Structures are given as C-alpha cells and as structure tokens.
Amino acid sequence: MDDFADLRGKKALVTGAAEGIGFAIAEKLIRYGCEVIIHDKDDADKCIKALVALGVSGDYSQSFFIADFENPEAIESILDKLHDIDILILNASTQVRADFEEISREDFDRQVNTNFWSTVRLIQASLDYMKTKCWGRVITIGSVQEIKPHPQMAIYAGLKAATANVVKNLAVQFARYGITVNNVSPGVILTSRNEEVLGVEEYAKKTLEKIPVQYFGKPEDCAGIVLLLSSQGGQYITGQTINCDGGMSL
C-alpha cells in the first residue's frame, strides 16, 4: 500500500453513503484501510446492505447511523457520534426542482437544513477531536452548479456555492491544527438522482453537449479525488474546490 494513501488507523464518516457518490467514496476509503461509518437519510436496511457490499464485518449497528438532515433536531441527535472522526465527508444533499417563482418556504428550509446547516453542525462537532489530534480532513461534496447553476435549482446551487465559500474560510482558520478543508464539485454523475432526467433522450443529449469530454461521470470518478484529499498525499491542499465534471464548468 502506498504510504501517501495509507488510511489505516483513521476513522471516517461519509454522509449519504448507502448509494451513489457516497458509496463509491466509502468503498475507496475502506480499500485503503480506513474505518468508515456510513449514513443514510431513513433506511437502515439500505445501510446494512451497503455495508455487506463494502465487505464490512462485525457489529453493523456500530457502522452506520440514520438521520434525516431536513430536520435540525435529527442533526443534533447524532453529534455525539462525531467525537472521534478523523475524516468527515459531507456528501448528503437534497435537490428541489422548481421555477424560481414557485419556490416555497418549505422547500427552501428543506434544502437549507440538509445542504448547509447540517454541514455547519457536523463540522463544528468534529473539530475538537481533530484539533486535539493535530490532524483532520473535512471534505464537502459540492456541485458544478456552484459555477453553472441550473435554472430550476436556484436554492440548491446557491447553497453549494455558499458551502464552497465556507470551505475557504475554515481552511484558513484551522490549517494551524493540521486540518485541511476542501470541496469536491461533481458534474453530471450517473446516480439514481439523475436516472429519471437522463432517461429522457432529448434532455440527456442537450446536457451531454455541455460536457467537453462527451460522457457522463460515474461515482467512482469522484472517489479518487476524495481519497487524495483524505490522505497524507493531499496534506498540502486546503481551501480548494476541485471540479470533477468532465470540463462542464469551463
């Protein structure tokens, strides 16, 4: 195992890890020796199936947790699970597609709580341990929409851009503790979230025309970048947004 990516002895939490990009990240970290705790919004069975697929053995109850980040109280209920996390991967998010004039307060609050407030609280809860250890990694999963916002996802895009700004802010504050803070921004990735819209031939064709490499990404395409940022190999990278979008943001 290459020393730069040796994560043995490290513990990571990956939110939204029962499928898609989160699952690919968890799989990659485990392959390099990391102990990984996965999170899902509301489905314990999905978590257990994911852990089996990841090759995790033993007491599954200690390897996952359920929390719906749309609910601030649910966020608070799991903060004690972050007392010994070395690597925090903030992947869970929700999208609401709506014309700007039709955005409701309920839809706004759902996205703010899940996509932004949960990020703030989980980072806050993780910092003490990382500071004590003088080592830590915080990685948010953003979106190409930080640069090229979708017209029906104004709030989602705005919150992703806000998170990328917070990443810069925190990177400066906590670098002296050996903590790096970075943001990985995927483009159009083949996940269940995009399955329906990309199943519409005309929409898929128009979307593909915006991507210079001319194909959609896979969850695994994001995992390698996260591995680098989680490891010693990425120790000199902080406060950055790294796009994984086939050139879509250009």
Q: How far is CA 147 from CA 178, 187, 224, 246, 247, in A?
A: 29, 10, 22, 14, 12
Q: Where are the beta strands (DSSP E) in 151-197?
A: 179-186
Q: How open is the CA angle 199-94-149, to the nearest 5 degrees?
A: 70
Q: Distances in Å between the alpha carbon of 128 and those of 79, 84, 124, 133?
A: 12, 9, 8, 9
Query: By three-state DSSP, how is residue 58 classified?
Result: coil
CA atoms within 13 A on the CB side of 80: 1
Among all chains, which residue has been given the structure tokens 């086939």?
Answer: 246
What Cα–Cα distance (Å) separates residue 53 from each residue in 18, 47, 57?
Answer: 10, 10, 10
Catalytic residue, candidates 156, 177, 203, 215: 156
Q: E strands, 142-224, where?
A: 179-186
**Contact indicator for 90, 184 with CB cutoff of 8 Å:** no
> 133: which 2 tokens?
């250890």
Residue 8 neighbours by CB distance under 10 Å: 9
Q: Respond yes or no: is residue 156 known to be catalytic.
A: yes
Q: How far apart are CA 69 and CA 40, in angstroms?
A: 10
Active site residues: 156
